[in-house]
Amino acid sequence: MYENLIVTTEDAVGVIQFNRPKVLNALNSQVMRGLTHALAAFEADATIRCVLIHGSERAFSAGADIDAMQAATPVEMLRENWIAAWDRPRTMTKPVIAAVSGYCLGGGCELAMACDIIIASESAQFAQPEIGIGVIPGAGGTQRLPRAIGKSRAMELILTGKFMGAAEAERRGLVSRVVPVEAYLAEAKALARDIASKPPVAIQFAKECVNKVFETALGEGLDYERRMFYFLFSTHDQREGMEAFLAKRKPEWKGQ
Ligand code: HXC
């Protein structure tokens, strides 16, 4: 069903793997359409509670497909609006984890940053190298990278196209953690399973509230968080979670 993507489920985790090894998982419109479709299917599937996106050990993705993109006109790109697909992990109600190894460049880096959590292998290399091909990041890089690592270093990376290694990405807070190459995928899957085992409505609200940080002033964000917190007291899972804690037993989540 999907070309250049391998889409599977592992219990409550939806897994999407880029599969264009010859071009280091460059993202063309076919891949992005497939990704959009797979994410929508996981969003609609109540048995899926967390999504994981990964590439290969050599490359998460070397970015948008330059070959496919080079002859595009502004009007074609505007009509197709293919860059909208990059924002989809953010707007999903379910958490999306990016497991990154090797090259994570341009649109690949932008896609990873649109995810909720990045787990990196020791070989991961991040860059916004668009300046080297005469353009700029177009799928969120100029907005998300400064928010993640600060203006000065983000500006330097975007203006030079230079690579940033996994250790620095971890130090600056772009990624949650760095794991040996042979373990990064297993570790990211374990994290996805852990998140998938939590109460789904609270998980959805927690994701929304954290994302508000990037869109609102503090007072508005605090107000939003408080309302979400109050609202959770209308759910089964709040009652169950608190009762289970007090009864010293394991909670059973219903997502209600
Ligand atoms: C199309 C790509 C590609 C890309 C690599 N390839 N990146 N094809 N689009 N983004 C292809 C190469 O042409 C080559 O094909 C094959 O993958 C292997 O790449 P090599 O260059 O031979 O490998 P290596 O020497 O290891 O260098 C790896 C690399 C380099 C450093 C990642 O390929 C590179 O600099 N790629 C471009 C990175 C980039 O500029 N990304 C940003 C794109 S713009 P052949 O056929 O020769 O074997 C972007 C904008 C997003 O992402 C904003 C809007 C969505």
59 by DSSP, 3-state: which?
strand
Contact 146, 128 (CB under 8 A): no
The pLDDT score that the predictor gives to residue 115 is: 98
CA atoms within 13 A on the CB side of 78: 3
The pLDDT score that the predictor gives to residue 82 is: 86
The pLDDT score that the predictor gives to residue 106 is: 97
What's the chain's average pLDDT? 96
Which token pair is 109?
């880096």
120 catalytic residue (yes or no): no
182 catalytic residue (yes or no): no
| Chunked mean pLDDT (size 10), the chain, 256 residues | 94 98 96 97 98 98 96 91 94 98 98 98 98 95 96 98 98 98 98 98 98 92 90 94 94 94
CA atoms of 255 and 252, how far apart (whole Å): 9
* pTM recorded for the entire structure: 0.96
For the chain, what's the residue count?
256
**Which residue, judged by its Cα, is nearest atom 13 of ligand 1?**
23
CA atoms of 81 and 191, how far apart (whole Å): 33
Which token pair is 89?
């992990």
Which token pair is 80?
């197709």
CA atoms of 90 and 115, how far apart (whole Å): 6
Q: Is the CB of 106 under 6 A from ligand 1?
A: yes
Q: Is the CB of 62 under 6 A from ligand 1?
A: yes
243 catalytic residue (yes or no): no
- Side by side, which strands form the sheet with 125-127? 59-61, 103-105, 125-127, 164-165
Which token pair is 244?
């289970």
Which of 63, 107, 140, 141 is labelled catalytic? 107
Does residue 17 come out as left (phi exceeding 0), alpha (psi in the -120 to 50 range) or beta?
A: beta
Which token pair is 248?
């010293």
Q: Which residues pair with 118 in a beta bridge?
A: 98
The pLDDT score that the predictor gives to residue 1 is: 76
For the purposes of burial, counting CB atoms within 10 Å of the CB of 42, is it exposed (0-12), middle (13-18) or buried (19 or more)?
A: buried
Q: Which of 4, 20, 23, 33 to mutate to test the pocket of ligand 1 (most atoms within 8 A of CB)?
A: 23
For the purposes of burial, counting CB atoms within 10 Å of the CB of 67, is it exposed (0-12), middle (13-18) or buried (19 or more)?
A: exposed
CA atoms of 256 and 193, how far apart (whole Å): 19
Q: Which residues of 3-19 are buried (b: 16+ CB within 10 A; e: fewer)?
A: ebbebeeeebbbbbbbb
Q: Which residues pair with 103 in a beta bridge?
A: 59, 125
